[in-house]
Structures are given as C-alpha cells and as structure tokens.
C-alpha cells in the first residue's frame, strides 16, 4: 500500500495480527508507523483489568456482546456501542460469545503503557 511523507494507506488484510492479553489484535496503524494515534481491530474473548497512564482509548463494538468494567462499574456493550476511556481508568471487556471491536488510541498504544493491577 502507498506510504510517503505525510500519509500511510494500509489495507486491514495487510496489517499484522498479534496475540494480546485479551485475544488477537490486527493493527493497521501503530506507533511504529510514526503515527500520533493507533487503530486496532481486536477480537476479544476475555481481558484482564488494566489501565494506561498516557493513552486515551475509544472502543467501538463491531460484533458480539459483552460487559465492560470501567473503574468497577459494569456496562453492557453490543454492536454500535462506543466507549471512551481516559488514562488511569481501570477497564476490561468480558465477552459473552466473542467481541470484535475497533480500538483507537491517542497517543498511539504502546505495550509499555499497559498496566495490570
């Protein structure tokens, strides 16, 4: 896909898929690309409660249902649900049959900014 100073174009099918603590994540836009934000399409089975000190995350549920814990409070999620999570907010998503979500991070997600209780 085209990449040049000022832009990057990447098809999701060409993006790397990596295991993550919650399942598997396909990552078309990462900090390694020099981008100020990240975009992941993540398949979640279950995730451990964690937080980020620097990154704000936005989850947008594409498929499946589940519950998301946000600082000890549980909310139901389904396709079309969007959840904005500020740095320091403890969170996890528990799937009731497999959840596929877009995760947008700003600044871009870094593995060294994922903290577990």
Instruction: Report the candidate in 50, 22, 41 with the shortest Cα–Cα distance to residue 112.
Output: 50
| Parent domain of 102 | 24-116
CA 85/CA 53 separation, integer angstroms: 11
pLDDT of residue 107: 98
Which pLDDT band holds residue 6 (cuts at 50, 70, 90)?
Answer: confident
pLDDT attached to residue 45: 85
Tens-digit pLDDT profile for residues 12-26: 999 999 998 888 999
Q: Can you say how many angstroms the Cα of residue 78 is from the centroid of all Cα atoms in its chain?
A: 15
CATH of the domain at 97: 2.60.120.10
pTM above threshold 0.75: yes
Residue 21: the pLDDT is 84
Q: Is the peptide bond before 55 cis (omega within 30 degrees of 0)?
A: no
| Total domains in the fold of the chain | 1
What is the mean predicted confidence (pLDDT) over 11-40? Answer: 94
Q: Is residue 18 one of the residues assigned to a domain? A: no
Q: Does some domain include residue 83?
A: yes
Report the alpha-carbon distance of residue 58 to residue 101 in Å, rounded: 10
pLDDT at 78 > cutoff 80: yes
pLDDT at 50 exceeding the cut of 90: yes
pLDDT digits (tens, 9 = 90+) for 95-112: 988 999 999 999 999 999
């Amino acid at each position: 896909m085209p990449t040049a100073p000022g832009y990057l174009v990447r098809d999701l099918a060409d993006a790397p898929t990596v295991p993550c603590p919650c399942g598997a994540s396909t990552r078309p836009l990462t900090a390694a690309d020099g981008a100020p934000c990240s975009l992941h399409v993540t398949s979640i089975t279950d995730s451990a409660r964690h937080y980020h000190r620097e990154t704000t995350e936005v989850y947008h549920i594409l498929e499946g249902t589940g519950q998301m814990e946000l600082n000890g409070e549980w909310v139901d999620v389904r396709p079309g649900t969007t959840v904005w999570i500020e740095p320091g907010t403890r969170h996890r998503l528990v799937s009731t049959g497999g959840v596929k979500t877009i995760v947008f991070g700003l600044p871009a997600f870094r593995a060294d900014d994922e903290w577990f209780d």
